Chains A and B, each alone.
Chain A
Protein backbone atom coordinates (compact mmCIF):
# COMPACT_ATOMS: atom_id res chain seq x y z
CA UNK A 1 0.00 0.00 0.00
CA UNK A 2 1.30 3.44 -0.84
CA UNK A 3 0.26 6.59 0.99
CA UNK A 4 -3.26 7.11 -0.22
CA UNK A 5 -6.75 8.15 0.58
CA UNK A 6 -7.58 4.87 2.33
CA UNK A 7 -6.44 4.58 5.95
CA UNK A 8 -3.72 1.98 6.44
CA UNK A 9 -1.63 0.86 9.41
CA UNK A 10 1.50 0.62 7.27
CA UNK A 11 2.55 2.66 4.27
CA UNK A 12 5.27 2.59 1.65
CA UNK A 13 7.17 5.84 1.91
CA UNK A 14 9.38 7.08 -0.86
CA UNK A 15 11.60 10.06 -0.31
CA UNK A 16 14.99 11.48 -1.13
CA UNK A 17 17.51 11.55 1.69
CA UNK A 18 20.92 13.19 1.27
CA UNK A 19 20.46 12.95 -2.48
CA UNK A 20 19.58 9.26 -2.48
CA UNK A 21 16.12 7.92 -3.32
CA UNK A 22 14.76 5.46 -0.77
CA UNK A 23 11.51 3.54 -0.54
CA UNK A 24 10.47 1.46 2.42
CA UNK A 25 7.38 0.20 4.19
CA UNK A 26 6.86 1.57 7.68
CA UNK A 27 4.11 1.49 10.29
CA UNK A 28 2.02 4.66 9.99
CA UNK A 29 2.82 5.37 13.64
CA UNK A 30 6.58 5.50 12.99
CA UNK A 31 8.29 8.82 13.71
CA UNK A 32 10.51 10.27 10.99
CA UNK A 33 13.48 10.27 13.36
CA UNK A 34 13.18 6.48 13.76
CA UNK A 35 13.02 5.99 10.01
CA UNK A 36 16.21 8.04 9.71
CA UNK A 37 18.12 6.45 12.60
CA UNK A 38 16.82 2.89 12.79
CA UNK A 39 15.70 2.04 9.25
CA UNK A 40 18.33 4.00 7.33
CA UNK A 41 21.07 3.80 9.99
CA UNK A 42 21.80 7.53 9.72
CA UNK A 43 22.57 7.96 13.40
CA UNK A 44 23.97 11.49 13.13
CA UNK A 45 20.45 12.75 13.79
CA UNK A 46 20.01 12.53 17.55
CA UNK A 47 17.05 12.06 19.85
CA UNK A 48 17.34 14.32 22.87
CA UNK A 49 14.06 15.01 24.58
CA UNK A 50 11.62 13.24 22.26
CA UNK A 51 9.09 15.96 23.05
CA UNK A 52 9.92 18.56 20.44
CA UNK A 53 11.81 20.88 22.74
CA UNK A 54 15.52 20.23 22.31
CA UNK A 55 16.05 20.27 18.53
CA UNK A 56 18.72 17.53 18.50
CA UNK A 57 16.63 15.71 15.87
CA UNK A 58 16.49 18.69 13.47
CA UNK A 59 16.73 17.80 9.78
CA UNK A 60 15.84 19.72 6.61
CA UNK A 61 12.60 18.69 4.93
CA UNK A 62 12.30 20.32 1.51
CA UNK A 63 14.98 22.77 2.56
CA UNK A 64 13.56 23.98 5.87
CA UNK A 65 14.51 22.82 9.36
CA UNK A 66 11.97 20.68 11.21
CA UNK A 67 12.12 18.44 14.25
CA UNK A 68 12.04 14.87 13.01
CA UNK A 69 10.59 13.60 16.30
CA UNK A 70 7.48 15.69 15.69
CA UNK A 71 6.74 14.32 12.27
CA UNK A 72 5.55 10.89 11.18
CA UNK A 73 7.62 9.09 8.60
CA UNK A 74 4.55 8.84 6.36
CA UNK A 75 4.23 12.63 6.41
CA UNK A 76 7.62 12.77 4.70
CA UNK A 77 6.29 10.94 1.63
CA UNK A 78 7.62 12.64 -1.49
CA UNK A 79 9.92 15.06 0.36
CA UNK A 80 13.61 15.80 0.05
CA UNK A 81 15.41 15.35 3.38
CA UNK A 82 18.89 16.40 4.40
CA UNK A 83 20.45 15.11 7.62
CA UNK A 84 23.75 16.13 9.17
CA UNK A 85 25.43 13.38 7.12
CA UNK A 86 24.27 15.22 4.01
CA UNK A 87 26.07 18.46 4.85
CA UNK A 88 29.48 17.08 3.91
CA UNK A 89 28.84 14.07 1.69
CA UNK A 90 32.46 13.75 0.58
CA UNK A 91 33.69 13.71 4.19
CA UNK A 92 35.35 17.11 4.15
CA UNK A 93 33.83 19.40 6.77
CA UNK A 94 31.88 22.39 5.52
CA UNK A 95 33.03 25.89 6.51
CA UNK A 96 30.22 25.93 9.10
CA UNK A 97 31.40 22.65 10.61
CA UNK A 98 34.99 23.89 10.60
CA UNK A 99 33.87 27.07 12.36
CA UNK A 100 32.12 24.98 15.04
CA UNK A 101 35.42 23.16 15.59
CA UNK A 102 37.56 26.31 15.56
CA UNK A 103 35.27 28.26 17.90
CA UNK A 104 34.82 25.37 20.35
CA UNK A 105 31.09 25.47 19.66
CA UNK A 106 30.59 22.01 21.06
CA UNK A 107 31.58 20.14 24.15
CA UNK A 108 29.76 16.82 24.44
CA UNK A 109 28.51 17.23 20.87
CA UNK A 110 25.08 15.74 21.41
CA UNK A 111 23.18 18.83 20.24
CA UNK A 112 25.63 19.61 17.43
CA UNK A 113 23.86 17.83 14.54
CA UNK A 114 20.69 19.80 15.28
CA UNK A 115 22.61 23.04 15.75
CA UNK A 116 24.34 22.52 12.40
CA UNK A 117 21.07 21.86 10.61
CA UNK A 118 19.41 24.98 12.06
CA UNK A 119 22.49 27.11 11.41
CA UNK A 120 22.98 25.85 7.86
CA UNK A 121 19.31 26.55 7.07
CA UNK A 122 19.79 30.10 8.35
CA UNK A 123 22.94 30.66 6.28
CA UNK A 124 21.24 29.39 3.15
CA UNK A 125 18.57 32.07 3.58
CA UNK A 126 20.67 34.83 5.04
CA UNK A 127 24.37 35.08 4.25
CA UNK A 128 25.12 37.77 6.81
CA UNK A 129 22.84 37.25 9.80
CA UNK A 130 22.99 39.55 12.81
CA UNK A 131 23.67 38.13 16.26
CA UNK A 132 19.96 38.48 17.01
CA UNK A 133 18.98 36.62 13.84
CA UNK A 134 21.37 33.78 14.72
CA UNK A 135 19.87 33.53 18.20
CA UNK A 136 16.34 33.39 16.79
CA UNK A 137 17.38 30.73 14.28
CA UNK A 138 18.85 28.60 17.08
CA UNK A 139 15.99 29.14 19.51
CA UNK A 140 14.67 25.62 18.92
CA UNK A 141 18.00 23.99 19.74
CA UNK A 142 19.10 23.42 23.31
CA UNK A 143 22.74 23.01 24.33
CA UNK A 144 23.56 22.10 27.92
CA UNK A 145 27.34 22.48 27.67
CA UNK A 146 28.48 25.60 25.88
CA UNK A 147 26.27 28.40 27.13
CA UNK A 148 25.61 29.17 23.43
CA UNK A 149 28.18 31.97 23.05
CA UNK A 150 30.65 29.87 21.08
CA UNK A 151 27.88 28.50 18.90
CA UNK A 152 26.69 32.00 17.95
CA UNK A 153 30.32 32.97 17.35
CA UNK A 154 30.87 29.94 15.10
CA UNK A 155 27.86 30.84 12.97
CA UNK A 156 29.09 34.44 12.74
CA UNK A 157 32.57 33.25 11.70
CA UNK A 158 31.11 30.86 9.13
CA UNK A 159 28.98 33.70 7.70
CA UNK A 160 32.04 35.96 7.45
CA UNK A 161 33.80 33.21 5.55
CA UNK A 162 30.89 32.97 3.13
CA UNK A 163 29.59 29.62 4.36
CA UNK A 164 26.22 28.30 3.42
Chain B
Protein backbone atom coordinates (compact mmCIF):
# COMPACT_ATOMS: atom_id res chain seq x y z
CA UNK B 1 0.00 0.00 0.00
CA UNK B 2 1.24 3.48 -0.77
CA UNK B 3 1.53 5.83 2.16
CA UNK B 4 1.05 9.55 2.05
CA UNK B 5 4.34 11.38 1.62
CA UNK B 6 6.20 11.72 4.89
CA UNK B 7 9.59 13.01 5.97
CA UNK B 8 11.84 10.76 7.99
CA UNK B 9 14.69 11.36 10.39
CA UNK B 10 16.70 9.00 12.52
CA UNK B 11 18.33 10.90 15.39
CA UNK B 12 21.23 9.40 17.30
CA UNK B 13 20.53 10.95 20.72
CA UNK B 14 17.42 11.49 22.84
CA UNK B 15 18.16 15.24 22.79
CA UNK B 16 18.12 15.26 18.99
CA UNK B 17 14.88 13.29 18.98
CA UNK B 18 13.20 15.71 21.37
CA UNK B 19 14.47 18.66 19.32
CA UNK B 20 13.05 17.15 16.12
CA UNK B 21 9.70 16.48 17.80
CA UNK B 22 9.66 20.03 19.16
CA UNK B 23 10.75 21.82 15.99
CA UNK B 24 8.46 20.13 13.50
CA UNK B 25 4.70 20.48 13.56
CA UNK B 26 3.09 17.16 12.82
CA UNK B 27 6.16 15.21 13.92
CA UNK B 28 5.61 11.86 15.50
CA UNK B 29 7.91 9.38 17.20
CA UNK B 30 8.26 6.06 15.38
CA UNK B 31 9.06 3.13 17.64
CA UNK B 32 8.45 -0.38 16.25
CA UNK B 33 5.80 0.88 13.85
CA UNK B 34 3.51 -2.11 14.37
CA UNK B 35 0.56 0.21 14.98
CA UNK B 36 1.70 3.50 13.46
CA UNK B 37 2.55 2.15 9.99
CA UNK B 38 -0.87 0.51 9.86
CA UNK B 39 -2.78 3.61 10.91
CA UNK B 40 -0.78 5.58 8.32
CA UNK B 41 -1.93 3.11 5.66
CA UNK B 42 -5.52 3.65 6.77
CA UNK B 43 -4.87 7.42 6.75
CA UNK B 44 -6.12 7.43 10.34
CA UNK B 45 -2.89 9.25 11.15
CA UNK B 46 -0.88 11.38 8.74
CA UNK B 47 2.27 12.57 10.43
CA UNK B 48 4.38 15.00 8.41
CA UNK B 49 7.65 13.90 9.99
CA UNK B 50 8.55 10.53 11.47
CA UNK B 51 11.25 10.58 14.13
CA UNK B 52 12.60 7.03 14.18
CA UNK B 53 13.89 6.04 17.62
CA UNK B 54 15.70 2.95 16.28
CA UNK B 55 19.23 4.21 16.95
CA UNK B 56 18.60 5.31 20.55
CA UNK B 57 20.26 2.34 22.22
CA UNK B 58 19.68 3.77 25.71
CA UNK B 59 15.95 3.22 25.13
CA UNK B 60 16.54 -0.51 24.60
CA UNK B 61 17.94 -1.36 28.03
CA UNK B 62 16.34 -3.25 30.89
CA UNK B 63 17.95 -2.55 34.25
CA UNK B 64 17.34 -2.00 37.95
CA UNK B 65 17.26 1.28 39.83
CA UNK B 66 20.19 1.96 42.19
CA UNK B 67 18.23 0.67 45.21
CA UNK B 68 17.10 -2.39 43.25
CA UNK B 69 13.45 -1.63 44.00
CA UNK B 70 12.45 -0.70 40.47
CA UNK B 71 12.72 -2.44 37.14
CA UNK B 72 13.50 0.18 34.50
CA UNK B 73 12.44 -0.73 30.99
CA UNK B 74 13.47 1.44 28.04
CA UNK B 75 10.60 2.55 25.82
CA UNK B 76 12.12 0.80 22.78
CA UNK B 77 12.36 -2.63 24.42
CA UNK B 78 10.50 -5.06 22.17
CA UNK B 79 7.98 -7.62 23.36
CA UNK B 80 10.45 -10.32 22.31
CA UNK B 81 13.19 -8.74 24.44
CA UNK B 82 10.83 -8.40 27.43
CA UNK B 83 9.78 -12.04 27.13
CA UNK B 84 13.43 -13.17 27.07
CA UNK B 85 14.79 -10.83 29.76
CA UNK B 86 16.37 -12.45 32.81
CA UNK B 87 15.80 -9.20 34.77
CA UNK B 88 12.07 -9.32 33.99
CA UNK B 89 11.96 -13.02 34.82
CA UNK B 90 13.36 -12.32 38.27
CA UNK B 91 11.67 -9.02 39.07
CA UNK B 92 8.22 -9.07 37.46
CA UNK B 93 7.64 -12.22 35.40
CA UNK B 94 4.06 -11.28 34.50
CA UNK B 95 5.49 -8.68 32.10
CA UNK B 96 7.28 -11.41 30.14
CA UNK B 97 4.25 -13.67 30.28
CA UNK B 98 1.96 -10.98 28.85
CA UNK B 99 4.54 -9.75 26.30
CA UNK B 100 4.75 -13.25 24.85
CA UNK B 101 0.99 -13.30 24.18
CA UNK B 102 0.80 -10.07 22.18
CA UNK B 103 -0.08 -10.61 18.50
CA UNK B 104 2.50 -12.93 16.87
CA UNK B 105 6.24 -13.55 16.62
CA UNK B 106 6.81 -11.01 13.84
CA UNK B 107 4.92 -8.24 15.63
CA UNK B 108 6.63 -9.03 18.95
CA UNK B 109 10.02 -8.76 17.22
CA UNK B 110 9.30 -5.14 16.27
CA UNK B 111 6.57 -3.93 18.66
CA UNK B 112 7.78 -2.11 21.76
CA UNK B 113 6.45 -1.55 25.28
CA UNK B 114 6.67 2.21 24.72
CA UNK B 115 4.68 2.01 21.51
CA UNK B 116 2.09 -0.25 23.10
CA UNK B 117 1.39 2.24 25.91
CA UNK B 118 1.75 5.44 23.85
CA UNK B 119 -0.83 4.20 21.35
CA UNK B 120 -3.18 3.93 24.33
CA UNK B 121 -5.53 1.66 22.43
CA UNK B 122 -8.05 0.45 25.04
CA UNK B 123 -7.67 -3.12 23.75
CA UNK B 124 -3.89 -3.19 24.25
CA UNK B 125 -2.34 -5.43 26.90
CA UNK B 126 0.14 -3.19 28.69
CA UNK B 127 -2.03 -0.22 29.78
CA UNK B 128 -4.17 -2.20 32.27
CA UNK B 129 -1.26 -4.41 33.34
CA UNK B 130 1.10 -1.50 34.02
CA UNK B 131 -1.71 0.30 35.85
CA UNK B 132 -2.18 -2.72 38.11
CA UNK B 133 1.58 -2.92 38.71
CA UNK B 134 1.64 0.78 39.71
CA UNK B 135 4.20 1.60 37.01
CA UNK B 136 5.42 5.09 36.30
CA UNK B 137 6.44 6.66 33.01
CA UNK B 138 9.41 8.94 32.37
CA UNK B 139 8.65 11.57 29.75
CA UNK B 140 11.38 13.74 28.23
CA UNK B 141 10.72 17.14 26.68
CA UNK B 142 12.68 20.25 25.80
CA UNK B 143 12.16 21.53 29.35
CA UNK B 144 13.49 18.36 30.96
CA UNK B 145 12.18 15.14 32.37
CA UNK B 146 9.05 14.34 34.36
CA UNK B 147 7.68 11.17 35.87
CA UNK B 148 3.99 10.40 35.39
CA UNK B 149 2.17 7.76 37.47
CA UNK B 150 0.09 5.19 35.59
CA UNK B 151 -3.13 6.73 36.90
CA UNK B 152 -2.35 9.95 35.06
CA UNK B 153 -0.52 8.58 32.03
CA UNK B 154 -3.46 7.19 30.08
CA UNK B 155 -5.62 10.17 29.12
CA UNK B 156 -7.99 8.80 26.49
CA UNK B 157 -8.31 6.63 23.40
CA UNK B 158 -4.99 7.11 21.54
CA UNK B 159 -4.05 9.85 24.04
CA UNK B 160 -1.49 9.84 26.83
CA UNK B 161 0.28 12.37 29.03
CA UNK B 162 3.08 12.49 26.45
CA UNK B 163 2.52 15.90 24.90
CA UNK B 164 3.71 17.46 21.65
CA UNK B 165 7.46 17.64 21.51
CA UNK B 166 7.80 15.00 24.22
CA UNK B 167 9.08 11.46 24.24
CA UNK B 168 8.41 8.52 26.55
CA UNK B 169 11.84 7.19 27.49
CA UNK B 170 11.29 4.70 30.28
CA UNK B 171 8.69 2.57 32.04
CA UNK B 172 9.48 1.94 35.71
CA UNK B 173 7.86 -1.01 37.43
CA UNK B 174 8.28 -1.80 41.14
CA UNK B 175 10.03 -5.14 41.55
CA UNK B 176 7.85 -7.91 42.96
CA UNK B 177 8.07 -8.07 46.73
CA UNK B 178 7.89 -11.38 48.60
CA UNK B 179 4.31 -12.53 48.99
CA UNK B 180 3.16 -10.66 45.91
CA UNK B 181 1.60 -12.21 42.80
CA UNK B 182 0.43 -10.77 39.49
CA UNK B 183 -1.86 -12.07 36.78
CA UNK B 184 -3.80 -10.99 33.73
CA UNK B 185 -7.00 -12.59 32.44
CA UNK B 186 -9.71 -11.79 29.95
CA UNK B 187 -11.25 -12.68 26.64
CA UNK B 188 -9.17 -12.22 23.48
CA UNK B 189 -10.01 -12.46 19.79
CA UNK B 190 -8.08 -15.63 19.00
CA UNK B 191 -5.41 -17.11 21.24
CA UNK B 192 -3.06 -14.12 21.13
CA UNK B 193 -5.38 -11.47 19.78
CA UNK B 194 -6.46 -8.14 21.15
CA UNK B 195 -8.68 -8.10 24.21
CA UNK B 196 -12.46 -7.81 24.24
CA UNK B 197 -12.23 -7.31 28.01
CA UNK B 198 -9.15 -7.69 30.19
CA UNK B 199 -8.39 -7.62 33.90
CA UNK B 200 -4.97 -7.26 35.52
CA UNK B 201 -4.42 -7.88 39.21
CA UNK B 202 -1.64 -7.78 41.71
CA UNK B 203 -2.11 -9.27 45.17
CA UNK B 204 0.29 -8.74 48.04
CA UNK B 205 0.72 -7.82 51.69
CA UNK B 206 -0.59 -4.33 50.95
CA UNK B 207 -3.80 -5.66 49.43
CA UNK B 208 -5.01 -6.05 45.86
CA UNK B 209 -4.96 -3.77 42.86
CA UNK B 210 -7.40 -4.67 40.12
CA UNK B 211 -7.61 -2.87 36.78
CA UNK B 212 -10.08 -3.53 33.98
CA UNK B 213 -9.26 -2.89 30.32
CA UNK B 214 -11.45 -2.38 27.22
CA UNK B 215 -14.40 -1.01 29.17
CA UNK B 216 -13.58 2.68 28.91
CA UNK B 217 -11.20 4.99 27.05
CA UNK B 218 -8.53 4.29 29.69
CA UNK B 219 -7.89 1.46 32.18
CA UNK B 220 -10.39 1.45 35.09
CA UNK B 221 -9.37 0.68 38.69
CA UNK B 222 -11.91 -1.61 40.38
CA UNK B 223 -11.58 0.26 43.67
CA UNK B 224 -14.72 -1.12 45.32
CA UNK B 225 -13.55 -4.66 44.63
CA UNK B 226 -10.09 -3.81 45.99
CA UNK B 227 -11.65 -2.49 49.21
CA UNK B 228 -13.76 -5.62 49.67
CA UNK B 229 -10.60 -7.71 49.34
CA UNK B 230 -8.78 -5.70 52.02
CA UNK B 231 -9.40 -8.41 54.59
CA UNK B 232 -7.02 -10.69 52.73
CA UNK B 233 -9.49 -13.50 52.07
CA UNK B 234 -8.70 -14.74 48.56
CA UNK B 235 -10.90 -17.81 48.61
CA UNK B 236 -12.93 -18.35 45.47
CA UNK B 237 -16.18 -17.40 47.16
CA UNK B 238 -14.72 -14.25 48.75
CA UNK B 239 -13.20 -13.05 45.46
CA UNK B 240 -16.44 -13.77 43.60
CA UNK B 241 -18.39 -11.84 46.20
CA UNK B 242 -15.94 -8.93 45.99
CA UNK B 243 -16.44 -8.71 42.21
CA UNK B 244 -20.22 -8.63 42.44
CA UNK B 245 -21.61 -5.38 41.15
CA UNK B 246 -18.36 -4.39 39.45
CA UNK B 247 -19.98 -4.68 36.01
CA UNK B 248 -22.80 -2.33 36.98
CA UNK B 249 -20.29 0.43 37.78
CA UNK B 250 -18.83 0.31 34.25
CA UNK B 251 -19.99 2.01 31.06
CA UNK B 252 -18.37 -0.20 28.42
CA UNK B 253 -18.92 0.21 24.68
CA UNK B 254 -20.98 -2.14 22.52
CA UNK B 255 -19.40 -3.25 19.28
CA UNK B 256 -19.29 -6.15 16.85
CA UNK B 257 -17.32 -8.26 19.36
CA UNK B 258 -19.43 -7.81 22.48
CA UNK B 259 -22.42 -5.87 23.80
CA UNK B 260 -21.96 -3.54 26.73
CA UNK B 261 -23.82 -5.99 28.98
CA UNK B 262 -21.61 -8.87 27.90
CA UNK B 263 -18.55 -6.73 28.63
CA UNK B 264 -19.94 -5.99 32.13
CA UNK B 265 -20.29 -9.72 32.73
CA UNK B 266 -16.83 -10.41 31.31
CA UNK B 267 -15.30 -7.72 33.51
CA UNK B 268 -16.48 -9.52 36.67
CA UNK B 269 -15.40 -12.95 35.43
CA UNK B 270 -12.01 -11.65 34.27
CA UNK B 271 -11.39 -9.76 37.51
CA UNK B 272 -12.15 -12.88 39.56
CA UNK B 273 -9.83 -15.03 37.44
CA UNK B 274 -7.01 -12.49 37.56
CA UNK B 275 -7.25 -12.02 41.34
CA UNK B 276 -7.46 -15.76 42.06
CA UNK B 277 -4.41 -16.46 39.92
CA UNK B 278 -2.48 -13.53 41.38
CA UNK B 279 -3.33 -14.72 44.92
CA UNK B 280 -2.17 -18.23 44.05
CA UNK B 281 1.12 -16.84 42.75
CA UNK B 282 1.49 -14.65 45.84
CA UNK B 283 1.80 -17.83 47.92
CA UNK B 284 5.15 -18.39 46.24
Interface residues of chain A, those whose CB is within 8 Å of chain B, are 3-9, 11, 27-31, 50-52, 55, 58, 64-67, 69-72, 74-75, 77, 118, 121, 136-137, 139-141
Pick 29 A–B contacts, CB within 8 A, sort by A.
A4-B10, A5-B10, A5-B11, A5-B16, A7-B7, A7-B27, A9-B7, A9-B8, A11-B8, A28-B5, A31-B1, A31-B3, A50-B41, A51-B38, A52-B38, A65-B106, A66-B110, A70-B33, A70-B38, A71-B33, A72-B8, A72-B30, A72-B37, A75-B52, A77-B10, A118-B106, A137-B105, A139-B192, A140-B105
A140→B107 contact, CB < 8 A: yes
**C-alpha spacing A50/B38, complex, angstroms:** 9
Instruction: Determine which of B1, B80, B104 lies in contact with A69 in the assembled complex, contact meaning CB atoms within 8 Å.
Output: B1
Q: Which residue of chain B lies nearest to A8 when distances are taken between CB atoms in the complex?
A: B7
Interface flag for B201 (CB, 8 Å): no
Interface size class of B (residues with CB under 8 A): 35 or more
B20→A140 contact, CB < 8 A: no
Write out, one digit per residue, whether chain B residues 107-120 have a CB within 8 A of any chain A CB (1) or not (0).
10110000000000
**C-alpha spacing A141/B107, complex, angstroms:** 11
Q: Which residue of chain A lies nearest to B12 when distances are taken between CB atoms in the complex?
A: A5
Instruction: Determine which of A4, A72, A136, A137 lies in contact with B9 in the assembled complex, contact meaning CB atoms within 8 Å.
Output: A4
Write out, one digit per residue, whether chain B residues 8-37 have a CB within 8 A of any chain A CB (1) or not (0).
111110001000100010010010011001
Q: Which residues of A contact B7 (CB under 8 A)?
A: 7-9, 28
Q: Which 9 A-B pairs have the closest CB atoms?
A: A140-B104, A28-B8, A7-B7, A29-B3, A7-B9, A139-B104, A140-B106, A7-B49, A64-B109
Instruction: Determine which of A69, A75, A140, A141 lies in contact with B54 in the assembled complex, contact meaning CB atoms within 8 Å.
Output: A75
Q: Which residues of B contact A9 (CB under 8 A)?
A: 5-8
Interface flag for B159 (CB, 8 Å): no
A74→B8 contact, CB < 8 A: yes
B1→A64 contact, CB < 8 A: no
Q: Which residues of B contact A58 (CB under 8 A)?
A: 106
Q: Which residues of A contact B107 (CB under 8 A)?
A: 52, 67, 70, 140
Q: Which residues of A contact B109 (CB under 8 A)?
A: 64-66
Known: A51-B38, A136-B105. A28 touches B50 (CB 8 A): yes
Q: Which residue of chain A lies nearest to B8 when distances are taken between CB atoms in the complex?
A: A28
**C-alpha spacing A140/B4, complex, angstroms:** 26
